[in-house]
Amino acid sequence: MKIVHHALEKGAVPSINLPSFPEELTAPGATFVTLEKQGRLRGCIGSLQAHQPLVQDLAQNAYRAGFKDPRFPPITAEELPDITSSISILSPPSQMLFQDEQDLLAQLVPDVDGLILQDGNRRATFLPQVWEQLPDPKQFLGHLKHKAGLAEDHWSPTLTAHRYHVVKVA
């Protein structure tokens, strides 16, 4: 969590001295950093695939969540005392095989599965934490389609879905 706080306080990606971290943090990893202010989303940025050391991914995503999330203005120094953060460490995504929407819905595990949905160049993800606001699988999937820029009732044979799990660090 010190890395997240440092990125937000300095307004920059912290430099990471990899040899000073344990091996599990220098192995490739994918993270999401979620920022909230008074219980409301204030930034959320992450990586869906491991492409760099986990600690470096965390540092970059902490900075990006605070200052580069296009949905929000950059965090100010005055806001910092009111900002809380959580870190999600993602498992590698696994492709889901399904025949139709009902089959996909039946395979989803609420409160456990994160989901990446893609059709052509439209793609979006929901972390497992989103199940707290959208506990019904059909509603969860519909909102994820909307986030991807698709109609909530959209269906196509080219639609793909990948599930992943997270370890959440508060």
Structure confidence at residue 44 (pLDDT): 96
Structure-block tokens of residue 71: 């949905």
Q: One-letter amino acid identity for 60?
A: Q
- This prediction has a pTM of 0.89
In angstroms, the Cα distances linking 15 to 28, 43, 67, 161 are 17, 21, 17, 35
Structure confidence at residue 152 (pLDDT): 96
Is 56 within 8 Å of 113 (Cβ atoms)? Answer: no
Interior/surface letters 111-141, b for 16+ CB within 10 angstroms, e for the rest: eebbbbbbbeeeebbbbbbbbeebeebeebb
Rounded CA separation 137/124 (Å): 16
Residue pLDDT, tens place only, 94-141: 999 999 999 999 999 999 999 999 999 999 999 999 999 999 999 999
Rounded CA separation 138/152 (Å): 9
Structure confidence at residue 1 (pLDDT): 72
Q: Which regions in the chain score pLDDT beneath 50?
A: none
Domains of the chain with bracketed CATH: 2-90 (3.30.700.20), 94-164 (3.30.1490.150)
Q: One-letter amino acid identity for 7?
A: A
Q: One-letter amino acid identity for 156?
A: S
Rounded CA separation 154/38 (Å): 35
